[in-house]
Amino acid sequence: MAEAALRFRNDDPVEEPAVTLDAFIEQTSASAVRIEAGDDPRRLIPHLGRVKLVEVGFPRFRDGRGFSTARVLREAGYDGEIRAEGDILVDLIFFMRRCGFDSFAPQAPLGRADVDAALSRYDYVYQHAADGAVPIWKLRHG
């Protein structure tokens, strides 16, 4: 599946290559940054005004630190593209979208039907998240 098929945004894709977090902070002309597992995404918060793309590396599917990175950035008000890149499993796409990821660059191709099934698997959610879905308890107790 092409990367463009895993982009859930209406704006134009960022063509600029992402630089490391340290390089981004040092360079005032960069607008795309890559955050690796172990990087502190809060270092990026003072620079969010010039960020067009945050690429978050997932070296292994079992490393969930990238989920927190997306959530921290969304809670800080970042509304630009957050791309998950690396060892992305289709089973996690729904949860990644909830945390704030809106594009994906998996190292292994994902089938479109599998992605669509993963994104529509759950009708209700149980907690607030970056996607703005209303939790089921709030629907029941309005």
Determine phi and psi for 39, rounding to 5 degrees.
Answer: -75, 150
- Least Cα distance to 42 among 90, 1, 12, 74 occurs for 74
Query: What integer best gives the mean pLDDT of the chain?
Result: 91
| DSSP element (H, E) containing 114 | helix 112-119
Query: pTM for this structure?
Result: 0.90
37-70 pLDDT, tens digit per residue, is: 999 999 999 999 999 999 999 988 778 889 999 9
Show the domains of the chain with their CATH numbers: 3-141 (3.40.50)
